[in-house]
Amino acid sequence: MKITFLGTGTSQGVPMIGCNCKVCESKDPKDQRLRSSIYVEWDHFSLVVDTGPDFRQQMLREGIKSLDAVLFTHEHTDHVAGLDDIRAFNYFQKKPMDLFASDHTAADLKTRFGYAFGDYPGAPSIRLHEIHGGAFELGGNRVQPISVMHRDLQVYGFRFGDFTYITDANFISPEAEKLIRGSHTIVLNALRREKHYSHFNLEEAVEWIERLNPQKGYFTHVSHQLGLTEEINQELPDTIELAYDGLSISF
Could you give the CA distance from residue 75 to residue 185 in angstroms, rounded to a whole number?
Answer: 25
Helix, strand, or coil (residue 125): coil
pLDDT at site 119:
86
- Overall pTM surpassing 0.85 (yes/no): yes
> Residue 206 is which amino acid?
V
Rounded to whole angstroms, how far apart are CA atoms 145 and 147?
6
The pLDDT value recorded for residue 217 is 98
Ranges under pLDDT 50 in the chain: none
User: What architecture (CATH level 2) is domain 2-250?
Assistant: 4-Layer Sandwich (3.60)
Q: What local confidence, expressed as pLDDT, does residue 120 receive?
A: 87
> Quick one: CA torsion of 135, 139, 141, 144, rounded to 10 degrees?
-30
The beta-strand segments (E) located in the chain are 2-7, 37-42, 45-49, 69-71, 97-101, 126-130, 136-138, 141-150, 153-160, 163-165, 185-189, 216-220, 240-242, 248-250
